[in-house]
């Protein structure tokens, strides 16, 4: 079974040189990256990366445009020089659950910044929320002899057996966001229980008494912990919970609209909604407004992640800020510090990154919310 791995070489994560071909004979200039090529062609960076690697996923015409533009701009890559030194690949493998996520992209930007400064390349694989693909990605990175791995687990992942081979070869692994804590492992997370509590408490402080929780699989730590915080806030404020107030689905547009229709059919109708995805919250709000629901006056909303869509949707969306870039930088720093012999991550260690509530229009039902 062949699963494609997206090789997204962010910014300077490959070594290169650029020499101007102008008649004036300019000196060496700043290195050209795949992002420069992507901007020039109005393509995604991942498309440019695959095109430069002659991937069959990219059409011949597009591939030709990419290669020709890269040559004209003076792009060149040296993918092997580092791997010949000290019997190390100087490459970090990164496994994420999806690429079409603002949070994941911000994490990758943080990882790339640190790895570039340290002289490491990054090799990115995504599981598309599939355990089977995640296992295949792990095996592929293992056989490519990466020096370390940074990983966020898929919704389907229930164990870490496929990472055991890295431990046996003394290849360090740092988990972030979606994790399964085990002995001798490091995880970079936020306090999801606290965040779930704060989001729900904010709705309660706005006068909400019947609050729906829209989330994804409770088998994954981040969602089970946010649910725990939600339940804790309800209990402390002596508000009733029932299974009817819990909507579990994926984080797709279809799921958002389905959640909105379920909310419309509830009797009595809820007056608050806490959603573990800004994307789902935005589409859910839009659907409810199309059915005459006033937000926040009738139903107040709180999302999660602080994605750009929060400022684009009307009303603007209150959310929990999820500092992806910080998480990526912290995960990469800890991994590289271990690789350089400056620290030891092969012990149980949770690194908790601060995350705050950002109040916007979608939840404010009084002039002076607490």
Domain match, 222 and 161 both: no
Domain match, 327 and 184 both: yes
Identify the domain containing residue 271 by its residue range: 192-322
pLDDT at 274 over 90: yes
Q: In this predicted structure, what is the pLDDT of residue 77?
A: 58
Q: Tens digit of pLDDT for each residue in 288-324?
A: 999 999 999 999 999 999 999 999 999 999 999 999 9
CATH number where 251 lies: 3.40.50.2300
pLDDT at 22 over 80: no
Q: In this predicted structure, what is the pLDDT of residue 4?
A: 37
Domain match, 169 and 312 both: no
Q: Tens digit of pLDDT for each residue in 31-41?
A: 688 888 999 99
Domain match, 212 and 175 both: no
Residue 294 lies in a domain: yes
Residue 76 lies in a domain: no
Residue 83 lies in a domain: no
Residue 73 lies in a domain: no
- Residues belonging to the chain: 370
pTM: 0.75
Helix (H, G, I), strand (E, B) or coil at 75: coil
Q: In this predicted structure, what is the pLDDT of residue 26?
A: 34
Q: In this predicted structure, what is the pLDDT of residue 297?
A: 96
Within a 10 A sphere around the Cβ of 312, how many other Cβ atoms?
Answer: 10
Residue 120 lies in a domain: yes
Residue 369 lies in a domain: no
Please write down the long-range contacts of 160-164, taking CB distance under 8 Å and 24 or more positions apart.
160/185, 162/134, 162/135, 162/138, 163/138
Q: What average pLDDT does the segment 319-330 reach?
A: 97
First to last CA, the chain: 54
Domain match, 186 and 327 both: yes
Q: What average pLDDT does the segment 163-179 reach?
A: 93
Q: What average pLDDT does the segment 255-261 reach?
A: 97
């Amino acid at each position: 079974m062949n699963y494609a791995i997206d090789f997204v070489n962010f910014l300077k994560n490959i070594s290169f040189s650029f020499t101007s071909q102008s008649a004036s004979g300019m000196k060496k200039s700043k290195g050209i990256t795949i992002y420069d090529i992507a901007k020039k062609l109005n393509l995604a960076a991942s498309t440019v990366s695959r095109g430069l690697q002659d991937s069959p996923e990219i059409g011949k015409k597009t591939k030709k445009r990419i290669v020709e533009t890269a040559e004209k701009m003076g792009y060149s890559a040296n993918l092997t020089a580092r791997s010949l030194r000290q019997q190390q690949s100087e490459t970090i493998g990164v496994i994420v659950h999806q690429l079409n996520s603002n949070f994941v992209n911000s994490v990758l930007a943080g990882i790339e910044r640190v790895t570039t400064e340290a002289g490491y390349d990054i090799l990115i694989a995504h599981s598309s929320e599939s355990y089977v693909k995640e296992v295949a990605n792990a095996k592929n990175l293992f056989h490519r002899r990466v020096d370390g791995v940074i990983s966020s687990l898929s919704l389907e992942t229930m164990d870490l057996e496929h990472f055991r081979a890295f431990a046996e070869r003394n290849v360090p692994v740092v988990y972030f966001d979606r994790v399964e804590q085990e002995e001798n492992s490091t995880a970079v997370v936020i306090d999801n229980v606290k965040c779930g509590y704060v989001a729900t408490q904010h709705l309660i402080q706005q006068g909400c008494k019947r609050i729906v929780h829209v989330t994804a699989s409770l088998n994954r730590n981040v969602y089970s912990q946010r649910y725990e915080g939600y339940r804790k806030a309800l209990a402390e404020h002596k508000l009733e919970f029932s299974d009817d107030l819990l909507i579990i689905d994926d984080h797709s547009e279809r799921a958002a609209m389905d959640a909105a229709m379920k909310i419309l059919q509830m009797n009595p109708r809820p007056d608050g909604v806490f959603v573990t995805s800004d994307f789902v919250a935005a589409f859910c709000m839009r659907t409810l407004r199309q059915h005459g629901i006033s937000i926040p006056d009738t139903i107040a909303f709180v999302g999660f992640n602080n994605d750009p869509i929060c400022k684009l949707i009307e009303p603007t969306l209150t959310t929990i800020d999820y500092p992806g870039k910080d998480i990526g930088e912290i995960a990469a720093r800890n991994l590289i510090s271990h690789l350089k012999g400056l620290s030891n991550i092969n012990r149980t260690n949770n690194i908790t990154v601060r995350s705050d509530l950002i109040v916007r229009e979608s939840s404010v039902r009084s002039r002076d919310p607490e």
